[in-house]
Structure formats: structure tokens, C-alpha cells
A and B are shown apart, each in its own frame.
Chain A
Amino acid sequence: QSALTQPASVSGSPGQSITISCTGTSSDVGGYNYVSWYQQHPGKAPKLMIYDVSNRPSGVSNRFSGSKSGNTASLTISGLQAEDEADYYCSSYRSSSTLGVFGTGTKVTVL
């Protein structure tokens, strides 16, 4: 099953805002409000940052926000900090599959 499409890398300076896109189809991202985002630091397990497009789990900074338009979901990190440097993955429910699907991953670099 094909993965959701994310940019390979996104960068920004401390304090800036960046946005990571996650593009799918009407069978996954576009058809349902079931998109999640994960942050993964090197050598660590992924951490849930956003679920159901725009909901933040308890303990996740409000600098992280999610949205969706059509077949593309987005994760925005505002007030970029050095600790935000990590890989980010989106995930979505897909109607044609019993298992969900992950995005290709985006490396965020803080300049």
C-alpha cells in the first residue's frame, strides 16, 4: 500500500513557524478526519503529537497544531525551538485497508 507523501525536509530558524504537509487521497486523508502526527528524535520511539487532524494529547505543547484541506493535512510548529529538530510522520485511516497508512516522513532542521 502506498504511503502518504511528505516533503523530505523542512527547515526554519528559532522562533519561526514551519508547516509540514501530508498528501493523500480521498480514500484516506481527504475522506476522513482521521489524521495523526508523530515526532521522532534519533534513536527514540515516535511520540504522538496530533490526532483526529487537530487534537493535541495532554502534555503536547500548543506550539504544535494540525489542520486539513482537501487531500492534504498539515502540521504547523510555531515558535520553532532547537528541541523540535526531529523526524515527523503523519498517519491516516484508509478505507481500502484494514491497517492505517503512514507518511514518508519529514526531517525538520532548526537552523
Chain B
Amino acid sequence: QVQLVESGGGLVKPGGSLRLSCAASGFSFSDYYMSWIRQAPGKGLEWVSYITISGNTIYYADSVKGRFTMSRDNAKNSLYLQISSLRAEDTAVYYCARVRGLRLYYFDYWGQGTLVTVSA
């Protein structure tokens, strides 16, 4: 069955960096667009970024543009999110998800999430 497993979250100081990973299994990873979505504690969902099948094109939310870098390794069935220049407002659970739809707008499988806490 489809599985997405995130890792790499933790406590980091403002201005610091982390690299989140998402290991995919149970489907042909290289056939799907993928995305990162985050959820601040007690808040709603926010689409962070998504990446095309080849990894050549990546889109970011304005709130993270220039600070976050998304990538993928199709040979390793893995997705990554390098998060830098972290701010308190980046504190959230980060989910990886498989993107679907003619306009690539919905997510049919989600990981369990990894918590990033930005605090001094």
C-alpha cells in the first residue's frame, strides 16, 4: 500500500536550518508530482511547495520563497525539503503528500508529518 514517511523535524533556533525527508513506497514515485504542506499548531493547512515529476520545476508559497528548497531523488523514492533562515512562524507539522488532479490541486495520500519547532 502507499506509504509516505517523513523525518528530520526537531527543535531549531531562529535563523537555523533543517532538512526534512519523505520516504515513499507502495507506488511508482517517479510518476507523480509531490508536495509539502504544513500546519502550525492549532491552525489550518498551508500549501508550501510542489515539485514536478522530473524535479525540474518547483513552486513555492510566497511565505517560504527564497528560504526553502524542495527536491526529489526518484532513484531513492525520496522527497526533501531544505528549510533555512527559520522563523518562529515556520513552527509547524510538515506533511509530504502525493499530488493528483487535472490541475494538480489535491492530495490523495499524506504522510504522518514531522514537527519543526523554531524557538530560542
Q: Given A99-B61, A103-B44, does the pair A45, B111 have CB atoms closer than 8 Å?
A: yes
Task: Tell me, yes or no, whether B59 is within 8 Å of chain A by CB.
Answer: yes
Q: How long is the Cα–Cα vector from A105 to B110 in the complex, in angstroms?
A: 17
Q: Which residue of A lies closest to B61 (CB)?
A: A99
SS of A interface (majority): loop
Binds A, one of B17-25, B72-80, B95-103: B95-103
The answer on a CB contact under 8 Å between B105 and A104 is: no
Task: Tell me, yes or no, whether A98 is within 8 Å of chain B by CB.
Answer: yes
Enumerate chain A residues within 8 angstroms of B45, measured Cβ to Cβ: 38, 46, 89, 91, 102, 105
Q: How long is the Cα–Cα vector from A50 to B109 in the complex, in angstroms?
A: 13
B106 to chain A, nearest CB (A): 4
Option from B44, B49, B61, B95 in Cβ contact (under 8 Å) with A45: B95
Option from B44, B47, B101 in Cβ contact (under 8 Å) with A52: B101
The answer on a CB contact under 8 Å between A48 and B44 is: no
Number of A-B pairs, beta carbon distance below 8 Å: 66
Q: Given A34-B101, A34-B105, does the pair A47, B110 have CB atoms closer than 8 Å?
A: yes
Query: Which chain A residues numbered 1 to 18 have a C-beta less than 8 Å away from chain B?
Result: 1, 3
Enumerate chain B residues within 8 angstroms of A47, measured Cβ to Cβ: 110
Q: How long is the Cα–Cα vector from A92 to B106 in the complex, in angstroms?
A: 8
A22 to chain B, nearest CB (A): 12
Task: Tell me, yes or no, whether A70 is within 8 Å of chain B by CB.
Answer: no
B interface list, Cβ under 8 A from A: 44-47, 49-50, 59-62, 95, 100-113
A-B pairs with beta carbons under 8 Å apart, 19 shown: A34-B101, A36-B106, A36-B107, A45-B111, A45-B113, A46-B95, A48-B106, A48-B107, A89-B44, A91-B45, A91-B105, A92-B105, A99-B47, A99-B60, A100-B104, A100-B105, A100-B106, A102-B44, A103-B44
